[in-house]
Amino acid sequence: MGAFADAVNDRFREGLAERRPGFEWTREHRIAGTPVDVAGVTPDHLVAVELEWRRADPADNAAKLFRHIHEGRVDRRVTVCQVFTRYYDLVSGGVSSKRANAEFVGRVAARTLSDLSYHAVAFDLDPPKRGADRPTGWTEAADGAVDRIASLIE
């Protein structure tokens, strides 16, 4: 993804800063060494936004975050928004087992860890393959996902 992923992450960060100005929004925020694509921080709350473009195992990074939270490496309430592109949608309807597994891990972690909430967010975008053009309407799709994320932040 490269430059396009950076542009999307910037759009998410900027959009969330506009919609939720009480947070300090950054890209590539690290939690115990694990990078998060976009994060918003206040003294008592961390919002972690992880964008899943076409990862083979989207549960992996989120599971690392949940482990760090469980181990006490985060000293505040955490909201994880795992954002899935249409890459994880099935032509026949529904979502791939990769996305279903990631969402399952997130729901179980949120039920288990008292200071964690988890939300799967749809990003209405077909991610281009490396070197391909940016899809038409990507800014509108990104803004729609940002609106959904902002509405989930308590």
Q: Is residue 57 predicted with pLDDT exceeding 80?
A: yes
What burial class does residue 36 get, using C-beta atoms within 10 Å of its C-beta: 0-12 exposed, 13-18 middle, 19+ buried? buried
Q: Is residue 8 predicted with pLDDT exceeding 80?
A: yes
pLDDT digits 0-9 by tens, 64-96: 999 999 999 999 999 999 999 999 998 888 899
Confidence class for position 45, pLDDT limits 50, 70, 90? very high
Q: Give every CB contact of residue 8 below 8 A, 6+ residues apart in sequence.
A: 1, 51, 138, 142
Say how far apart CA 34 and CA 58 lie, in whole Å. Answer: 14
H/E stretch holding 3 reads helix 3-19
pLDDT at 1: 53
Fold of the 3-152 domain? Trna Endonuclease; Chain: A, domain 1 (3.40.1350)
φ/ψ bin of 33: left (φ > 0), alpha (ψ from -120 to 50), beta (otherwise) = left
Query: Hey, what amino acid is at 148?
Result: R
- Pairing mode of beta strands 77-84, 45-52: parallel
Q: Is residue 3 predicted with pLDDT exceeding 70?
A: yes
pLDDT digits 0-9 by tens, 94-144: 899 999 999 999 999 999 999 999 999 999 999 888 777 888 899 999 999
Radius of gyration of the chain (CA): 15
